[in-house]
Amino acid sequence: MAELSFPPGFVFGAGTAAFQIEGATRADGRGPSVWDAFCAEPGRVEGGDTGEPACDHYRRWPQDVELLRRLGVDSYRFSVSWPRVLPTGAGAVNRAGLDFYSRLVDGLLAAGIEPAVTLYHWDLPQALEDGGGWRARETAHRFAEYAAVVAEALADRVPRWTTLNEPWCSAFLGYGNGVHAPGVRSGTPALAAAHHLLLGHGLALGALRAAGVREAGITLNLDQVYPATPDDEGAALRARTQRNLVWTEPLLRGRYPAAEADTWGELIERQDFRRDGDLAVIAAPMDFLGVNYYTPATVRTAPHREPDPARRDATDNRFAHVRDPRARHTAMDWAVAPDTLRELLVGLREEYGPALPPLFVTENGSAEDDVPGPDGVVHDADRTAYLEGHLRAVAGALAAGVDVRGYYVWSLLDNFEWTYGYGKRFGVVHVDYATQRRTPKDSYHWYREFVSRHSARS
């Protein structure tokens, strides 16, 4: 394959999230999160899997830093567990929890790896959920206070900060179809949650600035949407509105999308949770926008229906997903179409122009049916091809003039894949959960070589 070109300073990384890898859910004063409670409810997570043991990263982190060092990545994206730092979401700081991240940051820096912190990757302290969770406006303020605590401890050593990971999932899977914790099924509360997440982002951004953080942003899961037929353009607009514009418009333009009424109808008329002045907080300038990308969406027109937890896409209103029979599908049954990432990135640039901050692809990767070979190693050619294709798409976006600053593979390790439990494996490193043995897959070695060829640093 022809060599791809990345600008000097382009960041190659790998990512994880606290609840998915740490385990040790009761260690050193950590409080319960909504995901602990959700996992404990029968039927919510496949196989009855929970946050234990995950990758026992809380205790085995030095080994994981070593895996990152050998991988040769410039940066490691991880999330801080809010209930480790503030066991009930507010009030007294749990020093032991905060110290864990401080040690991790020091370990990364000693290994020559730049830490990139995400403050919220879905593990809301259960005590805050008991007070309404993201349906409650106060949660946005608690989030900013938590951001201030973490920033005070780590801002001297962590250059890049992300407030929220994929607020769409928190709002619409958490409070829309209930597929994610806290498992609430509803309409208006999901929209209120979306607004309070955005407000929390804006307030947290202020807290990060006050602590001296210079590089701060948010990570969104943005969909590249295609109409199944020319008659489905309306459905495609609704999908873009519900999945993308409800985030990018307030963040980048300080307004909610014009097509909202068409897409959510009467729900949006009850938006008393939106107050004057909120949008100015939400639209505070960011230094980067993180984009998580896995698969495109092909959609058709569908009738209005109430949320239905039997459907994973149940939050979608008046559009439905169509399976592309020509594409390869991963173990998640997600279509593989790498070039759609280039189209998404170029489209963002076309849509927002100079209002678009520099971009990072903060997650990209695939779950495959990994089976270790007789040599004990997972020979995951499909994952390697997936990663290579998407890195090519990023290079294509760069060549088209889009300011993309970095790319993070999801994920460093096989981990707790939310509703799917441990059955779905996204890692470039295989984890045997029974023994906690880590074994790099072929894709790890491939990525190591790719990074060493393309990173200006190496």
C-alpha span between 365 and 19 (Å, rounded): 18
Stretch that binds ligand GBH, among 162-170, 274-282, 347-355, 378-386 (CB under 6 A): 162-170
* Residue with smaller CB distance to ligand GBH, 352 or 420: 420
Active site residue 363: yes
Lookup result for tokens 């939106």: 274
Is 154 a binding residue for ligand GBH by CB under 6 A? The answer is no
Do 218 and 290 contact (CB within 8 A), yes or no? yes
Comparing C-alpha atoms, which of 185, 318, 196 is closest to residue 250?
196
Shortest separation between residue 333's beta carbon and ligand GBH, angstroms = 9
Lookup result for tokens 């901050």: 357
Cα 244 to the center of its chain, rounded Å? 14
Among 36, 363, 368, 414, binds ligand GBH (CB under 6 A): 363
Stretch that binds ligand GBH, among 44-52, 165-173, 190-198, 389-397 (CB under 6 A): 165-173
* Residue with smaller CB distance to ligand GBH, 64 or 417: 417
Do 284 and 202 contact (CB within 8 A), yes or no? yes
Shortest separation between residue 197's beta carbon and ligand GBH, angstroms = 14
Q: Which residues pair with 290 in a beta bridge?
A: 219, 360
Among 22, 74, 114, 166, binds ligand GBH (CB under 6 A): 166
Of 22, 249, 363, 417, the active-site residue reads 363
Is 46 a binding residue for ligand GBH by CB under 6 A? The answer is no
Shortest separation between residue 161's beta carbon and ligand GBH, angstroms = 17
Active site residue 269: no
Stretch that binds ligand GBH, among 48-56, 139-147, 292-300, 350-358 (CB under 6 A): 292-300
C-alpha span between 227 and 247 (Å, rounded): 21
Among 153, 417, 447, 450, binds ligand GBH (CB under 6 A): 417
C-alpha span between 178 and 312 (Å, rounded): 9
C-alpha span between 410 and 414 (Å, rounded): 9
C-alpha span between 237 and 264 (Å, rounded): 12
Among 12, 13, 14, 17, binds ligand GBH (CB under 6 A): 17
CA 34 vs CA 51, 133, 171, 330: distances in Å: 11, 9, 13, 28
Angle of helix 246-253 relative to helix 339-352, nearest 10 degrees, comes to 40
Shortest separation between residue 46's beta carbon and ligand GBH, angstroms = 13
* Residue with smaller CB distance to ligand GBH, 283 or 314: 314
Stretch that binds ligand GBH, among 85-93, 228-236, 290-298, 370-378 (CB under 6 A): 290-298
C-alpha span between 414 and 20 (Å, rounded): 9
* Residue with smaller CB distance to ligand GBH, 125 or 365: 365
Among 240, 321, 349, 390, binds ligand GBH (CB under 6 A): 321
Per-residue tokens: 376: 């004990």
Is 426 a binding residue for ligand GBH by CB under 6 A? The answer is yes
What ranges in 72-137 are assigned the alpha helix state H? Answer: 82-85, 95-110, 126-130
Residue 250: is the preceding peptide bond cis (ω within 30°)?
Answer: no
* Residue with smaller CB distance to ligand GBH, 188 or 295: 295
Catalytic residues: 166, 363
Residues that bind ligand GBH (CB under 6 A): 17, 20, 165-166, 169, 221, 292, 294, 297, 312-313, 321, 363, 410, 417, 426
